[in-house]
Amino acid sequence: MPGKRWAAPVLLALSLPLLAPVTTPPPASAAAAVPLEEINATTTQVAFGLRRPTAIAAPDDGTHRLFITEKRGTVRVYHPDTGLAQTPIIDVTASVDESGNERGLLGIALAPDFATSQDLYLAYTALPDGAVTLARYRLDEARLEPLLSQEHAENTNHNGGQIAFGTDGNLYMSIGDGGGAGDPFDTGQRLDTLLGKILRVDVSRSCGALAYCVPADNPFVGVAGARAEVWMYGGRNPWRFSVDPADGSMWIGDVGQGRWEEVNHVKTGRQAGANLGWSCYEGLEVFDQAQCRSGATYTKPVFTYSPHTGGCAVIGGQVYRGKQFADLVGGTYIAADYCYMTVWALRDNGTGTYAAAELGEMPTQVTAFGATPEGELYVVNDLPGGLHKVSFERAKPTCRIAYTTRTWGTGLTVDLTITNTGTAPLSAWTLRFPLGRGQSVISDWNTDLTQSGDMVTAVNAAHNGSIAPGQSVTMGYLASHTGDASAPSRFTLNRDNCAVVRS
């Protein structure tokens, strides 16, 4: 349901003078010190038989249950001792429009006082016309109470549908740009619609004709022509976002048009009125100049990757705040991609920069992350429909990359030494790494190198395909650049992370 146009089946070097600089204070809590390239992520399937699961929520009521939404409009319960209950605990199929690939029951959030109130909240596309809807569900009464609705009839894709309570007690909700391709309704930069937005509402009370209240400090309260519920705008399809309970910051995975997938990390104090850029920007590049506004301030994503990695739709995850793997990934944001199964890890360096790495693979077609009250992570995958517990382990990299660079004018050369630090010989190898924005490979040596978008795939030449343990081979390339002459920051060798050393 993240909504990529060309992937099926899908449930889913440019200066930036107008982008707000990212200033990052020290992390709210101590992060793990283990380098990301020394961490592997693994999953263990704990439940089978889910029907296109879309979201996970965990009640903090001592029951150790997980609630899992299914696209058709049901919520199933998983317990680690008894497994997946066959009978849904919630069934709102009579209200849910599940037509098309991306409509259905999309999100779930439990009220902060769920243990006593038994209130939870659902996001879904409603019958008869697919309107994106927020509703309260009173579990003890099996009663659904629609609270907010946004028309979404023209296209079935880009519904968003993530809902989560913030550390301030308000409910946040994402809605996509209305679907189609290229923001056909120009909703991303408009404030008179809820499409392409993240909303912030107070669902603990009602105000006048509204079944909820708009917090008085929402950024567009009292602004003529603007919807007061809007908290952030400029989203394309922010399918999954999360609120870090340690500091209230928001991590937003916004599915791209076709060139860039992006993750935004918006700190508290900078969220109200933040403009995520779409459809002026896709990632860090201008997408539609006509949608760019003179004097506007755009929030820069902290991480982008292109579908040339093999991915198609970023699945925003969560910051790990559990205890079991705190020494490895404490304070680290974990995300995925729907098509490529990559486990992405981002770590706030506290200096305005972020470390990034691939930690391995998820099951096929992950659609959502969830965390227990203790902070341990789970994921669900679309097809064939399973629940998986996420674990982490430390493993020394089996490769090391040392490189030297030389730059001049609009050119650069990079020489790489690949060392097999594992215990088994390599009879063939494939090295993958991203280039800086605006870099294009002109020629290469000692390798067969291809560039696709920002990604380079280098495979062994006939004479250097075997690397014994402890041995090395060299390769390199000549590239042009448009201002960014930086060397690659991460490498994988046969999809294993490599340690990186600059010579």
pLDDT, tens digit (0-9, with 9 covering 90-100), for 311-331: 899 999 999 999 999 999 999
Long-range contacts, stretch 432-435, CB < 8 angstroms, 24+ apart: 432/309, 432/456, 432/457, 432/458, 432/491, 432/492, 432/495, 433/458, 433/488, 433/490, 433/491, 433/492, 434/305, 434/306, 434/309, 434/488, 434/489, 434/490, 435/479, 435/488
Q: Which percentage of the chain shows pLDDT scores above 70?
A: 94
Mean pLDDT of 9-34: 46
Mean pLDDT of 414-421: 97
The widest CA-to-CA distance across the chain, in whole angstroms, is 76
Q: At residue 29, does pLDDT exceed 70?
A: no
Closest CA to 383 of 4, 113, 8, 3: 8
State pLDDT tens for residues 444-483.
Answer: 999 999 999 889 999 999 999 999 999 999 999 999 999 9
What is the token pair recorded at 349?
A: 């360096």
Closest CA to 202 of 251, 169, 228: 169
CB atoms within 10 A of CB 68: 27
**pLDDT of amino acid 310:** 76
Query: What is the number of helices (H) and of strands (E) in the chain?
Result: 2, 40
- HSE-CB at 282 with a 13 A cutoff on CA atoms is 18
Closest CA to 440 of 111, 10, 13: 13
What is the token pair recorded at 411?
A: 């050119």
Q: Domains in the chain, please, with CATH?
A: 45-307 (2.120.10.30), 399-502 (2.60.40.290)
Mean pLDDT of 37-62: 97
Output the CA angle 248-250-256, nearest 5 degrees. 180
What is the token pair recorded at 278?
A: 């779409």
**pLDDT of amino acid 495:** 87
**pLDDT of amino acid 8:** 35
From 11-20, 28-37, 411-420, the region with the lowest mean pLDDT: 11-20
**pLDDT of amino acid 499:** 94
Mean pLDDT of 137-151: 97
Q: Which percentage of the chain shows pLDDT scores above 90?
A: 89
Mean of all residue pLDDT scores within the chain: 93
Cα torsion 14, 19, 25, 27: sign: negative
**pLDDT of amino acid 329:** 98
From 13-17, 86-90, 258-262, the region with the lowest mean pLDDT: 13-17
State pLDDT tens for residues 245-304.
Answer: 999 999 999 999 989 999 999 999 999 999 999 999 999 999 999 999 999 999 999 999
**pLDDT of amino acid 293:** 93
What is the token pair recorded at 285?
A: 């590049």
